[in-house]
Structure 1
């Protein structure tokens, strides 16, 4: 069964180029939209079957570093696609109840009647991330606070800010790295019982062979002294050079 959410606004519905553009060119990352007039009002329906809203997600669980990574990359891609089709990026809703998620993909509502500053909306969303972050996830904490700090600056670049968030989460300090590597170097190699047993077996086999060789040496000497010469046995044969 198809599941939808609806957003209504006052005023008679008039279809403009934005809806026609989205219908002709479905943009990856936008929820499927349908506009119509109902009782003298304008209503936009969004198809959300199989998806869960960001608000519902983080009422049940915590925001992870993976979630932030996906969100930032996908939002940047969506903004570029929106501009490519001459749509208005400030019509992208960034309220948690209007952002949906399914299989590592975030989906957004494009709402033509409401034009707000997307960069200001991202500040509010960053506040929301701070409140719902998983503080046991170190990378998540680094990314959330880097994002929150960045969006508070004037004329910030989302692309550069996203890169800074990734760098903050992906690298340890030099001191932490050095401690981890020193700890690894100081750790003695693990005892390999299988290898030890194999070496012991080889050493034991060598000892047995040596003892067996020593035991048979007197017998071999006796046989060599009393054996009969055979044809072709030229031990002790010496030919003077002048005889050749």
Structure 2
């Protein structure tokens, strides 16, 4: 099934070609004439004597893109299946069979927080529901947060249930809803955690020691030396006065100890000023433990292509965008994108730069305001090869690709 994305006025659509005999079916008319909760709003348009289903997907992202850099925890897993369960109940209420629900992650659409998940219904698709759900769960397994033990166990259990011949989705929902988050004590005592705590799996670390940076150490040395000089001068004056009095009064028994004490104090002060503040050495936790691995400079597996930053041309003083990671996403929602553009008209996830070998492409992420390269608008999820000097426009933000 070939999927095409279109922008029309202020709306974006997923476009699928309607089947030849779809118009004569009950499912087709039920889908078109009703706004069914949990499914993307669907309309029909005719072009060149062919009918196409238009699914409105404005301001939403595909599940595949949403989970590219984000892991699925128990809350997200449960929410996906709860939304799917709601869709199935609505489909059943409208007498629509579940096997026509598209389970491809590229055709499942979510809001940026993944609180709402919408599915597409294609009359006549006719694929069995459980194999489709199995494929969806296998995709989710590759995006699981394996630190979340509850999510890991539940996802694997549900995926195994879908392979049984007599399993129903009702049983899957019951299994999902019956699960409770693992308590902290249970999580700490889990086999995975206990295995990590075995002595042979523990990494021996060096005990941190008190350190002073080189510039601060020099400043401290200078300040200490000045203090020592002042203190030594005062002490020398006092000692000299006592020595003069002892010599004047011919008290040699007092003169010799005072002289010796003065010399000893001067030696001690000199020693302290030279070596007392040397930088302490690190003390390893295990005696004799030394660094066995030399630090090697990590090389970027993806060296920069022809351009690696976007030069801002905005009059409002926008920042240049340094492209580091791929795919590199820009938008207005911090925490979801690599670079935040806080301007009116910028979608939460607006566009992204993708690398393919030495080439770099700009892809629009279904943004309502759209993305333009050299004045030409990119269709939703469409890609354009970037060349040095290309002019990129996103809402009121303008950049030059370098």
Q: Normalising by the residue count of structure 2, what TM-score does the alignment of the two structures yield?
A: 0.41
Mapped pair 1:22 → 2:31: yes
Change (3 A) 1:177 1:10: closer
Tell me the residue number matched to 1:51: 60
Tell me the residue number matched to 1:162: 173
Mapped pair 1:34 → 2:38: no
Task: Tell me the SS of whatever aligns to 1:45.
Answer: strand
Task: Tell me the SS of whatever aligns to 1:129.
Answer: helix
Superposed CA offset, 1:31-54 (max 9, x none): 001123333443211101111110
In structure 1, runs of 5+ residues without a counterpart are: 180-244
Q: How many residues align?
A: 179
1:107 equivalent among 103, 106, 118? 118
Report the Cα offset of residue 23 of structure 1: 3.8
The answer to whether the 8 A contact 1:19-1:35 is kept is: no
For the pair shown, which has the larger CA radius of gyration, 1 or 2? 1
Mapped pair 1:83 → 2:74: no
Q: Normalising by the residue count of structure 1, what TM-score does the alignment of the two structures yield?
A: 0.65
Provide the C-alpha distance between the structure 2 equivalents of 1:145 and 1:172, rounded to a whole number of angstroms: 20
Mapped pair 1:146 → 2:157: yes
The answer to whether the 8 A contact 1:142-1:168 is kept is: no
Provide the C-alpha distance between the structure 1 equivalents of 2:21 and 2:167, rounded to a whole number of angstroms: 37
Provide the C-alpha distance between the structure 1 equivalents of 2:14 and 2:75, rounded to a whole number of angstroms: 26
Tell me the residue number matched to 1:176: 186
Report the Cα offset of residue 171 of structure 1: 4.2
Tell me the residue number matched to 1:95: 104
The answer to whether the 8 A contact 1:12-1:42 is kept is: no
Provide the C-alpha distance between the structure 2 equivalents of 1:118 and 1:26, rounded to a whole number of angstroms: 22
Change (3 A) 1:172 1:160: farther
Higher relative contact order, chain-length normalized (CA < 8 Å, sep 6+): 1
The answer to whether the 8 A contact 1:146-1:168 is kept is: no
2:140 equivalent among 117, 129, 132? 129
Report the Cα offset of residue 169 of structure 1: 4.8
Tell me the residue number matched to 1:228: none
In structure 2, runs of 5+ residues without a counterpart are: 1-9, 190-402
Report the Cα offset of residue 25 of structure 1: 2.8
Provide the C-alpha distance between the structure 1 equivalents of 2:93 and 2:139, rounded to a whole number of angstroms: 29
Structure with a larger share of its residues in helix: 1
The answer to whether the 8 A contact 1:13-1:42 is kept is: no
Provide the C-alpha distance between the structure 2 equivalents of 1:80 and 1:108, rounded to a whole number of angstroms: 13
Tell me the residue number matched to 1:69: 78
Superposed CA offset, 1:33-78 (max 9, x none): 1123333443211101111110111113122211111111121121
Cα RMSD, aligned residues only? 2.7
The answer to whether the 8 A contact 1:146-1:165 is kept is: no
Provide the C-alpha distance between the structure 2 equivalents of 1:163 and 1:123, rounded to a whole number of angstroms: 17
Provide the C-alpha distance between the structure 2 equivalents of 1:65 and 1:9, rounded to a whole number of angstroms: 37
Provide the C-alpha distance between the structure 2 equivalents of 1:178 and 1:138, rounded to a whole number of angstroms: 11
Answer with 14-23 or 67-76: which moved more.
14-23
